[in-house]
Structure formats: C-alpha cells, structure tokens
Amino acid sequence: MQQFQVPQGHFSLQRYPVDANPSLRAWDAADELILKHVDEQLTHPDPGIWIYNDSFGALSVALNNYSVQAISDSYLAHRSIDNNYCDNHLVTDSLTVKSSIETLEGTPDIVLIKVPKTLALLEDQLCRLRPFLTAQTQVIGAAMVRHIHSSTLSLFERIIGPTKTSLATKKARLIFSTPDMEIKPSKSPYPNSYTLEGTKHQIINHANVFSRQKLDIGTRLFLQHLPVSATAQSIIDLGCGNGIVGLIASERNPSAQLKFIDESYMAVASAKQNFENAFNGQHKATFVVDNCLDKTDSDSADLILNNPPFHQQQAIGDHIALQMFRQSHRVLRQKGELWVIGNRHLGYHKRLKQIFGNCTRVASNSKFVILKTTKL
C-alpha cells in the first residue's frame, strides 16, 4: 500500500490487480498536478465532478467529499476505485462509477479527463460528453507531457472549444478547454466496422478496441491455425478484444459453448455484437467483463485461446500474461489446451513450460509465434 499526499488529504492507494513491483504507483504526476489545480481554483461550494479514465482511483478517492461520477472503459479501473475507497474507509454515497458505453446523466460543473492512450477513445468520450456541458463547465485534461500531442489538443479544440495548456510540472501538463456553445455537438464516429477478410462477417469495433480499422497481422496468423476439435465443448476467448478469434473458433466448432472475456467494456460489447450478427442466436456464447479469469470456475474449459496484452495502461510488462497463463491452468480441465499468440521476442514458451510442464510451437512467422500447452 502506497501513501498518496495531495492538498485534499493523505490516502493509501494501490493498483489493481496488486502487482509485486513496488515501483508501479497507483498515480502519476498528472494526477498530482490536476488535484493541486482543483484545490487552488475550486470556487463552487458543492461541485458535481465527472472524472474520465481514473486508472487506479487516485482522483476519485482524493475528491471523495464531492459528488463524483467516474467514467472508464476499464473493469480494472472500476475495481481499483472500489477497493481504494474501501481501504480508505470512504463513504461511496456520492460516488457513481460508469463504463464508457453507459448513458450519462446530469450536468457537471467540473470535468477532469486523464488523457487515454487511445486517441479514438478520447474522441468518443469527448463526443459523448459534449451535449452535457454548459458554458460554465470547467473541462480540464491531464497527462504526462509525452502523451499530449497536437492531435490531442485538436480534438479538445474541435469538440469542446478553445483550448490551451499549462506549463509542464514534473513532466506533466494540464489542458484547459472552454466549452463553445456555438459548436454543434458531433456524433461519435464509433463504433466503426470493416468486413473480415475472406468472410462475409461485418466486424463492429467500439473506440477502445485494438486494431479497429483492419485485421492485425498477429490475429491473422492465429485465425489460420485455430483448432477444430470434437472434444472442445467449452472454449474461452481470453482477452477477446472485438471477438474475432472466438467468432471463428465457434464457426469451426459449432457445437461448442463460447465464452468471451476482456477487461474492456467496449471490447466485450463489440465481441457480443459481432457474435450475434454472425450467428443470429444459432451458436452459444456468454460475454464477461472481468480481470482475466477471476470469475471463471476451475476445471470448466476444454480450450482457451489467448492473445495476452504486454502492458497495463502505460506500464509495460508480462504480469498480465502470467496471470492469464496461471489462471488458465486452473480453469482448464485435464487434457485441456491453452493456445497463445504472441510476439516471438516475449519468450512466452519459457513461462508456459514453467506453469504447464510442456509447450509446443504450432506455427510462427518472422514476428509472431503460436504456442500450445496442455494441462496434464
């Protein structure tokens, strides 16, 4: 548990899921900067505050004395906020936590936006936010300097209104955007779609889905080698994204029950729509927003298909992949298989051998490798 000292108070915070690396904090300098600004400039006696992309709850916890609506596409962020409120013995009566695709309500006095990694997600969030703003609403963005680009500021300028930035402090910067009520609210360009190559499937993608415009090369290789199995009656697409892998697995194994899992609400919504469009209720599937396989029963799956991420927010590492591999071992039935696609340089075969005791290469190219391991 790390100690977070800001003008609003002293709080204990931790990332979710808890990581063994103590150098990874549950906040950054941009969180500190925006909270300092709010403390110095706050004039409204009881402001309604909307907070976007509060990765681990630092902003929501620090501003717990106000009416807070926290909006994020990340299940892990939602859990972080809940856990850190609980750890600090805070009352949640004035806290509302919503996903990026839920309907917004009310009129905020202050909007705090941690600039997300994905520019498309920022565009979608600003478009959804715009109709709820008044001329008096304060819209303040925050990010580390390296994550603020001219394209970032252009979105604020085009969708919200006149935009300027603060001076950099500890490599962080604020964005101030004044609502221009003459700007007509624009509809978000998301979700968008494309036709999956070699098929008639129209693939729908919400803004925070990886590879929204076309099939990425790693998934293309994975699709070419997905197994057909008479014994695989329960298949999980773990880290499903838009659900293409599970969709094609269901097409090749029509009697199987599919389960799509991702920590992104937009990813799971995309996967659900794509599956329903493809099979119109003729194939069986469930859709779960979760931290990897936390909610999945042990010894319940015959086949798990996995393209693990190698980063959480801006932090790069293999801790999420390792969690997926370890939980897959728990969830698979005896003789069940885990198939993994990943960049060759990540060395997943070593980790899989440590956990499962075996690992076989199914296929590879110059950049990616498909690995298969069996629960003995």
pLDDT, tens only, 197-243 = 989 999 999 999 988 888 999 999 999 999 998 889 999 999 999 99
Tell me, yes or no, whether 171 and 198 share the same domain. no
Is residue 37 scored above 70 in pLDDT? yes
Q: Average pLDDT of 267-296?
A: 97
Closest CA to 55 of 93, 81, 29, 88: 81
Q: What's the pLDDT tens digit per position in 72-102?
A: 999 999 999 999 999 999 999 999 999 999 9
How many residues are there in the chain? Answer: 376
Classify residue 183: in a domain, yes or no. Answer: no
Predicted confidence band of residue 312 (pLDDT cuts 50, 70, 90): very low
Q: What's the pLDDT tens digit per position in 104-117?
A: 999 999 999 999 99
Is pLDDT larger for residue 15 or for residue 313?
A: 15
At position 28, the amino acid (one-letter code) is D
Tell me, yes or no, whether 152 and 200 share the same domain. no
Is residue 314 scored above 60 in pLDDT? no
Tell me, yes or no, whether 244 and 109 share the same domain. no
Other residues' Cβ atoms within 10 Å of the Cβ of residue 157: 17
Is residue 24 scored above 90 in pLDDT? no
pLDDT over 70 for what percent of the chain?
Answer: 97
Classify residue 92: in a domain, yes or no. Answer: yes
Tell me, yes or no, whether 156 and 290 share the same domain. no
Q: Average pLDDT of 43-49?
A: 88
Tell me, yes or no, whether 108 and 63 share the same domain. yes
Tell me, yes or no, whether 165 and 200 share the same domain. no
Classify residue 30: in a domain, yes or no. Answer: yes
Q: Average pLDDT of 320-329?
A: 95
Q: What's the pLDDT tens digit per position in 341-361?
A: 999 899 999 999 999 999 999
Tell me, yes or no, whether 140 and 199 share the same domain. no
Tell me, yes or no, whether 17 and 68 share the same domain. yes
Looking at residue 4, what is its pLDDT?
96
The pTM assigned to this predicted structure is 0.94
Beta strands in the chain (DSSP E): 2-6, 9-13, 48-52, 67-72, 95-99, 110-114, 138-144, 163-165, 172-177, 192-195, 202-205, 234-238, 257-262, 284-289, 301-306, 311-312, 315-316, 332-343, 360-364, 368-374
Tell me, yes or no, whether 149 and 11 share the same domain. yes
Predicted confidence band of residue 20 (pLDDT cuts 50, 70, 90): low
Tell me, yes or no, whether 68 and 121 share the same domain. yes
Classify residue 341: in a domain, yes or no. Answer: yes
Q: Average pLDDT of 245-273?
A: 97
Classify residue 144: in a domain, yes or no. Answer: yes
Is residue 165 scored above 90 in pLDDT? yes
Predicted confidence band of residue 28 (pLDDT cuts 50, 70, 90): very high
Classify residue 186: in a domain, yes or no. Answer: no
Mean pLDDT estimate for the chain: 94
Q: Which of 111-141 are b and which e, b meaning 16 or more Cβ less than 10 Å from the residue's Cβ? A: bbbbbbebebbbbbbbbbbbeebeeebbbbb
Is residue 337 scored above 50 in pLDDT? yes
Domain extent, residue 91, equals 2-177
Distance CA 151, CA 282 (A): 43
Looking at residue 283, what is its pLDDT?
96
70: CATH = 3.40.50.150
pLDDT over 90 for what percent of the chain?
Answer: 87
CA distances from 300 to 10, 233, 292, 328, 332 (A): 44, 10, 15, 10, 6
Tell me, yes or no, whether 228 and 156 share the same domain. no
Look at residue 371 and give its three-state secondary structure: strand
Predicted confidence band of residue 186 (pLDDT cuts 50, 70, 90): confident
Tell me, yes or no, whether 114 and 210 share the same domain. no
Q: Average pLDDT of 311-334?
A: 81
Predicted confidence band of residue 317 (pLDDT cuts 50, 70, 90): low
Classify residue 210: in a domain, yes or no. Answer: yes
| Cβ 330 vs Cβ 338: under 8 Å | no
Classify residue 182: in a domain, yes or no. Answer: no
Q: Average pLDDT of 121-128?
A: 97
Q: Which residues lie closer than 8 Å to 270 by C-beta, 6 or more apart?
A: 191, 204, 205, 206, 209, 241, 242, 243
Residue that terminates a domain, selected from 177, 201, 222: 177
Task: Count how many domains the chain has.
Answer: 2
Looking at residue 210, what is its pLDDT?
87
Q: Average pLDDT of 163-168?
A: 97
For the four alpha carbons of 169, 180, 48 and 120, in that order, the dihedral sign comes to negative
Residue that terminates a domain, selected from 177, 203, 234: 177
Residue that terminates a domain, selected from 146, 177, 208: 177
